[in-house]
Amino acid sequence: TGVQTCALPISLYRMTGLAVKDLPFKSTAPIAGPNFTLFVPGELVLRFGGKQAEFDLKAGAFAFHGFNQKINQGHLDRALLAYEGWKVLNGDFSAKAKPGIGWQAGAELTINVTRQWGISLEVNYLAGASPLQMKGSYLGFDQSNQLQTREADFKKSKVDLTGLEFSIGIRSEEHT
């Protein structure tokens, strides 16, 4: 048993879609994405184990940044259509993604195959957000068949990086 600090590993993820929060409407579909996300965790680890297996409890923080952030216009249009109650709607939005932060907690089980390496099964809960600053306009026909045009500036919108992360890997270090 003991407490250790880990090196800062850097991961690059391909995110197909992420939720956006702090909008005046709700959407169950991902509005942000696709993008490539750089993910940098820092964590404290409490390790239990022996020669054949190790079990780690982990907690810490992370920073992330989505590069080349896209907006899923179709999902956003459907959310705005439900919000406005219109018959038809089409929007054109852009976003300025900024780096975000969050916290994480999880566990890792490593089964040592040899003294030098083991198979790692890990699960982490992530809760983070990054400013998105979505801006654009949309037009459509309301219930009385009147053409409407609206400008929208969702300054407080944030990419919501909340959920479970599962990983399987090989951990290499000397076990005595």
In the DSSP assignment, the letter for residue 173 is -
Work out the pLDDT band at 115, boundaries 50, 70, 90. Answer: confident
Give counts: helices (H), strands (E), the chain.
1, 11
- pLDDT 10s digits, 116-135: 899 999 999 999 999 999 99
- pLDDT 10s digits, 88-100: 999 999 999 899 9
Q: Which of 80, 62, 71, 67 is nearest to 128 (CA)?
A: 62
3-state secondary structure of 174: coil
pLDDT in the model for residue 149? 97
